[in-house]
Chains A and B, each alone.
Chain A
Amino acid sequence: MKSVCFYFNIHQPFRLNRYRFFDIGNNHYYFDDFSNDEIITRLAENSYIPMMDTLLEMIKASEGKFRCAISISGTAIEQFQQYVPEVMDRLRQLAATGRVEFLSGTYSHSLASLEDVEEFMREVKSHDDLIEREFNLKTGTFANTELIYDDDIANVIASMGFKSCLTVGAKHVLGWKSPNYVYKSISAPDLKLLLNNDKLSTDIAENFNRQDWDEYPLTADKYMDWIAALPEGEKVVNLFLSMDVFGSFLPASTGIFHFLKALPRFAEERGIEFAMPSEVVAHTEAVDFLSVPYPISDVDEARDVSAWKGNELQNEALDKLYSVAERVALCDDRRLKKDWQYLQSSDHFYYMSTKNMADGASHASFSPYDSPFAAFTNYMNVLADFLVRVQEQYPESIDNEELNSLLLTIRNQASEINSLKKELKSLRTNIAEAEKEPALPVPAPESTPEKKLRGCKSTETINDEQPKKRPGRKPAVNKEPDENRPKKKPGRKPKAKTV
């Protein structure tokens, strides 16, 4: 029996405001809220909402036989939360059906996998944490930003415990091989690879409404006939599609939603089932190794990463950005860390592509900028301000290792203080209890509950008592962002001494 795996990809970046060089150092807000709101709201209306309703309907009508996977970036989820929460409701409904698998990926749709392994792992972790928090689902299959993949990335993903990964069936990698099998990575043999079927996904995404296409019009039974007619051994058809194609590039009037809704019936007639990637991977053995020495992606004719790393501008911007990866990871400023994520979105680098003379025509049409040079200038201005902020946290004169050890000392100190605190607390309660016997509750019970409160609230309330101030700091290390300040100051002092 053949299986069809649909993957719907959702991503929106936080587009940048026009940010002039005289804003550097003066204005630390970088994002164009108006256009981000406008774009995601429009797409939600035309595309995400009707599409998710269609998927829900398909799952219901087919009594759960229709399944699919969704790959969604953290930045997209944040924008939904902020601007169109009704999309979040639908995503939760989809998650609750148990027929939709959420893929793992990078939080900000970033290029970290090509630039900085550590940061890549952090990106994946924050993405997966978010998915778990929002949808109560664990991710099993990995799909990188625009399906970027090579043997090195395979190693990293495998080391993170992933058993399967979706990537592109790039012709120059596959050669005569078919994408309709499960493969395994040559560098990490435990990692199974699912490959997008380029032709069949393009037929939907690009050709569906092309009236000069010789197969126009595409109908659900014809499409399923094609899949049924694939050679006997080819068991899996992976279709990776951007969700905003449905309803916006292919407006509802093209009949695209009806096409989708008709698919399960014709699939059943031909004995084709729908599957989630984890099911495919569980039931299918890999037929062969796949070696991908150079990164491949889902974008442009060449299926390489030149759309983001194809010119000097892009490489310069990426180098500058990732030069502070470690520092940002060390710091605890919540806004800085958010901006860091948003600035990593691959879209910013895509806008800088100078391929717009040839097959990069699509680069220009998606870009909010006049030219790649304007995109670069704006991004670099923002980055300049961002770098200043990072530097303010940790001066450049201290190198990362030294900084690391200092921070470690501080954190150890904090935990030491905390353990001492506990000790003190237990001693106090002991004393209180000891005192309890003769004279009843007066001082002791007052102090214990307050201390607990302090643990999760803030230090502001009680500033007079010295010992009480400290327990406030410790939890700040883990969670609360606003509490960072008092913790950092002690961090700087020892540095000053060492310099």
Chain B
Amino acid sequence: MAQIVIKNLKKQFGDFMAVRESSFTIEDGEFFMLLGPSGCGKTTTLRMIAGLELPTSGEIYLDGEEISQRPPSERDIAFVFQMFALYPHMNVRRNISYPLVSQGMPKTAVQAKVAEVAGILGIEDILDRPVGGLSGGDRQRVALGRAIVREPKAFMMDEPLGALDAEFREHMAEELRALHDRMGATTVYVTHDQLEAMQMGDKIVVMNNAVVEQFGTPQEIYDKPATMFVADFIGSPSMNFLKFHGKLAGGASEVSVHDVRCAVPTSREPFEGDMAFGVRPEHIELSDAADFRAEVLATEYLGTTQIVTLRTAGGDIKARIPSHQVARTGETVGLNFKASTVTLFDRQSGRALKSELNEGVLHG
């Protein structure tokens, strides 16, 4: 059980910058998600925490101790690999007991510990089977067993559900989260699936192009994106960006988007130039009376809601509206935006402009 502090961590492979100076803190007992598209440096970050890669520079503190240059065996961190990496020449029992054997634990204690872990994971009946013939879920459980058996300070998980069937993944995600809640161990979990991250994480770090874009709770990241990348990456459909050129005074609570005045959270930062008006699909309302006009291009029926694609002066956007509301293709409608949820972005840098809404949001 431990707190992990990452300070200015950097990793370079030759000319390639895998992770640029990143800093964030993982609190004791947190289920911490490292989220980002493939190649963004999230796995490299995880491997540096575990000791499988040495950082080019920067520090990693585990419970206050600087460990960035130590071999993995001296870090007391467990790692669950995407492909499980169960030792193929050993049976389930030996796989799980392997980390204990390396510590020189007496045989009877090892047996007891393995039995206990098998009980937690519900794999008592497969302990003596070779790992080769196991199903994906059972392999996953054995890999988890091998990780939890020695009660490490923290768990690293590299897309542990990535190799499972979609159907089974959800079940395993619940199991994993339940296991974490029961053990309360600090867990760092890498995924490229934003849904998985939102569903399971206590806190999320969003990475892109070797940089930490944002760091916070799932709600913060969803409601108050710090950059356009985060706003676009999280949520399905993702946040809409109405492109416009305009001027925003400090303290203003209104902005003119293509000559229509739209309310926004009170600005804390004056800005002039290319901006994007960021609004989530569920915060758009179709209303005939509204000034902001758009043409309905298509509708997608999703049961309780429907997704309506609209053409506006600022580009195509999507709105999520109740399915009983009628929207006909080709019609022109008016749009209302839920003002308190709007984020304005500087289109040049992709950064969110400071406002009443996103004050105090942690930025990478």
Pair from one complex: no
| Chain A residues proximal to chain B, CB less than 8 Å | none
